[in-house]
Structure 1
Amino acid sequence: MNHSDHVNAVAQQLSAAASSPVAASWRRCMTIHGLSPEEQRTPWRLTEAEFLQARERSGHIIEESRDELDRLFLTVGKAGCCLLLTDERGVALERRGAVGDDKDFRGLGLWSGTVWSEASVGTNGIGTAIADERAVVIHRDQHFLSANTGLSCATAPIRDHLGRITAAIDISTCRDDVNDMAVLILSQAVRDAASRIEANLFRRAFNGARILLVSSEGKSTPALLAIDRDDLVLGATRAARQTLGLDDRRIAAGVPAADLLHEDRSSNGGDLLDAERAALRRVLSRARGNVSQAADILGISRATLYRKMKKLSVE
Structure 2
Amino acid sequence: MKRINHADNIISAVESGSVGSRLTASWRRSLNKHGLDPTLSHAPRRFESAEINDRRDSMGSFMTVATPKLDQLFQMVGQTGCCVLLTDREGVVLDLRSSDGDAATFEKWGLWYGADWSEEAEGTNGIGTCIAEARQITIHRNEHFLSRNTAMSCMDAPIFGPDGELIAALDVSSCRADQTESYSRLISGVVAQTAKQIETEAFRAAFPKARIVTSPEERPEGAVLLAVDSDDLIVGATRAARRVFGLGQGGALTPRPASDILGRDTTASALERAERAALKRAIARSGGNLSAAARALGIGRATLYRRMGRLGIDVA
| Superposed CA offset, 1:105-133 (max 9, x none) | 01100001111101111111000000000
Aligned to 1:133: 134
Deviation at 1:230, TM superposition (A): 2.2
Counterpart Cα distance in 1 of 2:214 and 2:259 = 13
| Superposed CA offset, 1:192-249 (max 9, x none) | 0100111111111111100011133443411100001222101101100111111379
Amino acid at match of 1:158: I
Aligned to 1:162: 163
Counterpart Cα distance in 2 of 1:19 and 1:226 = 41
Cα distance change on mapping 1:235 and 1:265 into 2, 3 Å: farther
CA contact (8 A) 1:212 1:225 kept: yes
Determine if the alignment matches structure 1 residue 69 to structure 2 residue 70.
yes
Aligned to 2:143: 142
Counterpart Cα distance in 2 of 1:55 and 1:255 = 32
Determine if the alignment matches structure 1 residue 198 to structure 2 residue 205.
no
Aligned to 1:8: 11
CA contact (8 A) 2:127 2:169 kept: yes
Q: How does 1:1-315 map to 2 (within 5 A)?
A: 1-15=4-18, 18-247=19-248, 251-252=253-254, 254-265=255-266
Cα distance change on mapping 1:168 and 1:249 into 2, 3 Å: closer
Cα distance change on mapping 1:142 and 1:203 into 2, 3 Å: same
Deviation at 1:52, TM superposition (A): 2.0
Query: Which shifted more, 175-184 or 47-56?
Result: 47-56
Amino acid at match of 2:132: A
Amino acid at match of 1:64: V
CA contact (8 A) 1:216 1:240 kept: no
Measured on the aligned residues, the alpha-carbon RMSD in Å equals 2.3
Counterpart Cα distance in 2 of 1:53 and 1:235 = 26
Cα distance change on mapping 1:38 and 1:52 into 2, 3 Å: same
Any idea what SS the aligned residue of 1:40 has? coil
CA contact (8 A) 2:125 2:144 kept: yes
CA contact (8 A) 2:228 2:258 kept: yes
Any idea what SS the aligned residue of 1:154 has? strand
Deviation at 1:250, TM superposition (A): 10
Higher-Rg structure is 1
| Superposed CA offset, 1:15-74 (max 9, x none) | 2xx341111111111111110111102211112322221122124221110010000000
Deviation at 1:190, TM superposition (A): 0.6
Any idea what SS the aligned residue of 2:256 has? coil
Cα distance change on mapping 1:209 and 1:9 into 2, 3 Å: same
Amino acid at match of 2:201: N
Aligned to 2:296: none
Counterpart Cα distance in 1 of 2:195 and 2:20 = 27
Normalising by structure 2, we get a TM-score of 0.80
Counterpart Cα distance in 2 of 1:150 and 1:249 = 38
Cα distance change on mapping 1:249 and 1:220 into 2, 3 Å: closer
Amino acid at match of 1:8: I
Counterpart Cα distance in 2 of 1:172 and 1:93 = 15
Deviation at 1:251, TM superposition (A): 4.4
The alignment of Structure 1 onto Structure 2 pairs a total of residues equal to 271
Q: Percent identity?
A: 42
| Superposed CA offset, 1:263-291 (max 9, x none) | 3158xxx99xx9xxxxxxx99x77xx9xx
Counterpart Cα distance in 2 of 1:30 and 1:50 = 28
Any idea what SS the aligned residue of 1:171 has? strand
Cα distance change on mapping 1:257 and 1:265 into 2, 3 Å: farther
Amino acid at match of 2:87: T
CA contact (8 A) 1:136 1:156 kept: yes
Any idea what SS the aligned residue of 1:169 has? strand
Counterpart Cα distance in 1 of 2:37 and 2:101 = 32
